[in-house]
Amino acid sequence: MQEYLGALQRAALFQGMEEEELLALLDCMGGALRRYPRGTAVLQAGDPATHLGVVLSGKVQVSRIRADGQRIVMGEMGPGRLFAESYACAGADSLPVSVTASADTAVLLLDCRRLSTPCASACKAHGKLIHNLLWVLAEKNLFLSGKLDHLSGRTIRERLLSYLEAEAGRTGRTTVVVPFDRQALADYLCVDRSALSRTIGQLQREGTLEVQGRRFRLNNLSESGE
């Protein structure tokens, strides 16, 4: 765990914690380090919703399968980001989503059942953890609200531009590097991949977008400060 201590201290969940209290907290919460090769399952739909995860290195993708078999990408998380925390904190019987390593990945799993039970020493770190977790959950709620805005678009064009413009607004840049490959982007926007590719091609021909791989430049926006 020592090799990931710096990554842990940078994670929002552990903000404000010194090394000693952080290590004690990990023991209190049953912290377990796990490593996963790219493409392997970290958590699967139907697993007990008892643990939340923190990405230490690499990245994971959260997805769910609809009744009609369509795969929906909920999001992708890199170092410092949490996954499965809402289901674990809500005490869900099982996970409705799957979490897959989209690169060689190391994660920390914490037993959320220990969250509401103060440790024997009533450490301050436990209180900090709860405070930080509330902040993370609120931030995730805002993220999901944003995704609903994108999906409210009636056409693929509206959904794609809504997503790209929101990312550009967040970074203050007209160029957006998306964390998804083309199939995952289609899944995230709940559209067909071929139809998405056709829409991107049309936007390029119009001059609205310039696209190179995962890099999208929006020509109808200006950089912050210009």
Residue 134 shares a structural domain with residue 191: no
Residues 198 and 212 in one domain: yes
**Domain of 61?**
2-149
Find the CATH number of the domain harbouring 66: 2.60.120.10
3-state secondary structure of 80: coil
pLDDT at 223 over 60: no
Alpha carbon distance 226, 221 (integer Å): 10
The stretch 148-164 carries a mean pLDDT of 93
| Same structural domain, 80 and 30 | yes
**Mean pLDDT, range 38-45, rounded to an integer:** 95
Classify strands 105-111 and 82-83 as parallel, antiparallel or unpaired: unpaired
pLDDT at 207 over 50: yes
Q: Minimal CA–CA distance to 178: which of 161, 190, 195?
A: 161
CATH code (residue 174): 1.10.10.10
- pLDDT-derived band at 224 (thresholds 50, 70, 90) equals very low
In a domain, 77, yes or no: yes
Residue 23 has phi, psi (to 5 degrees) of -65, -40
Tokens of 152: 């409210």
Query: Residue 77 phi/psi, 5° resolution?
Result: -120, 130
Q: Are residues 196 and 141 in the same domain?
A: no
Domain count, the chain: 2
Give CA–CA dist 101/59, Å, rounded: 6
What does pTM read for this prediction? 0.69
Percentage of the chain exceeding pLDDT 70: 94
Strand (E) or helix (H) holding 89: helix 85-90
Give the position of tokens 């992708």.
76
**pLDDT bracket for residue 225 (50, 70, 90):** very low
The reply to whether 56 and 107 lie within a common domain is yes
